[in-house]
Amino acid sequence: MDKKLLLIKEWLRKAEHDMGMAELAIKNKPEYTDSICFHCQQAAEKYLKAYLVFLDIRFEKKHNLDYLLDLINEKEKVSEEFYEMLEKLEDYAVEIRYPDDWFEPELEDAKEAYEIVTRVKEFVLDKFNLPENKTDKR
């Protein structure tokens, strides 16, 4: 298997793990809304990075979804709706993790974050044309 495909699969696997953690928390510890939102943001970021690798677009190590979307937008049009949807996840990357900037999202915010990352996942997997259950295998 070539290096590019291996890297894409690794980004997808890591995204699946973040999404899985968010789902576990929603089902078993819904009060952990900050962790749910964090993992949703992280999964979205990793799905987008997998797609950037697929597109042969280099990216810096940043936790910024707008930056990643801008890079994708250089090759293919990204809708304003998609930007707005992902903007809701942006504060969950860093701010939510530190006590001085900390805020507690509501359960509805966490559920919305999970719905958003589900849409990001579908967007990316549709581009790859991969069956959903194949992303976690090496």
The enclosing domain of 83 has a CATH number of 1.20.120.330
In this structure, is residue 112 part of a structural domain? yes
**For the chain, how big is the Rg over CA atoms in Å?**
15
Contact 43, 117 (CB under 8 A): yes
Best CA proximity match to 104, nearest among 38, 20, 11, 40: 38
Amino acid occupying residue 6:
L
- Give the model confidence (pLDDT) of 61-70 as tens digits: 988 999 999 9
Angle between the 3-28 and 107-128 helix axes, to the nearest 10 degrees? 160
Q: In terms of pLDDT, which residue wins out, 23 or 62?
A: 23
User: Is 15 a member of any domain?
Assistant: yes
Domain that residue 64 falls in: 3-129
Instruction: Tell me whether residue 95 is in a domain.
Output: yes
pLDDT, tens only, 83-122? 999 999 988 887 666 666 667 899 999 999 999 999 999 9
For the entire predicted model, the pTM comes to: 0.88
Give the chain's domain count. Answer: 1
137 in any annotated domain: no
Task: Give a yes or no: residue 89 inside a domain.
Answer: yes
Domain assignment present for residue 136? The answer is no
